[in-house]
Copies of this chain bind each other. A is one copy, B any other.
């Protein structure tokens, strides 16, 4: 597809979806238009990320993409928390379900598709094995930090559970910033991939960054429009709120990571794909989720960090298989299949509950 045609379709689909949303059109129309739009804005974000990654190196590019990709999820969650504080406490459960869905969606669906499609093209793909080891340890920290409050909260009164949640949240955010210090400053070199890139960038350095920001904003907007239509659909198809939050919303909210990661993997830059998928999961678990706990506290009604058994099992399962597969710094199509298989099994189980 030529550049010109792509940007025309991007503009048209985005505008149509926006008009449908703000004019309050029929939900089915809104749904279809926003689905079409998300394909193009996600493709745009993929292009922009790739261009930035050209200048920034694979890993910083991947980090930027993960961050911009999670901005949308953060915004949606804050809106839900605002409503939860103002008298709809069950929305806290929806926030946690979407956090769960985001973590497992990135680790299993995004990474799985990337490894499968990348692996069909390239027999074996390689990335920095030291980074893989650190990612695994951080994933484990995330799982531990979510499990411990759940285990101990069973016998604690609500006030203590909230205090425990806040303390754990603060500790996790500190750990996350120290990780950024470690991976971007003190040990930047040890964690970077050795592959030298010779691709061409679509734009200059400055324009690439602007494009990345614009693309992220567009993805966030379209995601929100799409999410707005979901409730009606879930009732039509009889989907539970847990399934809706953990699978439907999460898949759409991660469209940006999807397109970017898959595109990277298909260009044999599997290090960037892993960074986007795992990095995004880690950011959700170690930064976004704790931040939401703290924000809810300042809004006057603390959301605790206690997830349901189903959610904890899903996160633990996703982290362990992703750790096992990414541990050797080598990937192939079958490892993508394994991740997708676990995602499908989880999806079926959540659907039935």
Contact = CB atoms under 8 A, between A and B. Distances in A.
A307 to B, nearest CB: 14
Interface in A284-321: 309-310, 313, 317, 320-321
A332 interface: yes
Interface string A319-330: 011011101101
A337 interface: yes
Contacts of A155: 353
Interface in A137-196: 137-138, 140-141, 144-145, 147-149, 151-152, 155-156, 160, 163-164, 167-168, 171-172, 174-175, 178-179, 182, 186-187, 190
B342 A144 contact: yes
Given A333-B182, A337-B175, A353 B144 contact: no
A16 interface: no
B151 A309 contact: yes
A79 interface: no
**What is the predominant secondary structure among interface residues of chain A facing chain B?**
helix
Contact of A145 (B145, B313, B345): B345
A207 interface: no
A214 interface: no
A25 interface: no
A334 B179 contact: yes
A130 B335 CA distance: 12
B164 A349 contact: yes
A198 B307 CA distance: 53
A283 to B, nearest CB: 16
Given A140-B320, A175-B338, A320-B140, A310 B345 contact: no
Contacts of A144: 317, 320-321, 342, 345
A267 interface: no
Given A144-B317, A324-B136, A167 B348 contact: yes
A123 interface: yes
B187 A348 contact: no
B352 A156 contact: yes
A168 B345 contact: yes
Interface in A10-58: none
Q: Which of A138, A149, A152 has the most CB of B within 10 A?
A: A152
Interface in A95-125: 123-124
Nearest to A154: B309
Interface in A192-239: none
Interface of A: 123-124, 130, 133-134, 136-138, 140-141, 144-145, 147-149, 151-152, 155-156, 160, 163-164, 167-168, 171-172, 174-175, 178-179, 182, 186-187, 190, 309-310, 313, 317, 320-321, 323-325, 327-328, 330, 332-335, 337-338, 341-342, 344-346, 348-349, 352-353
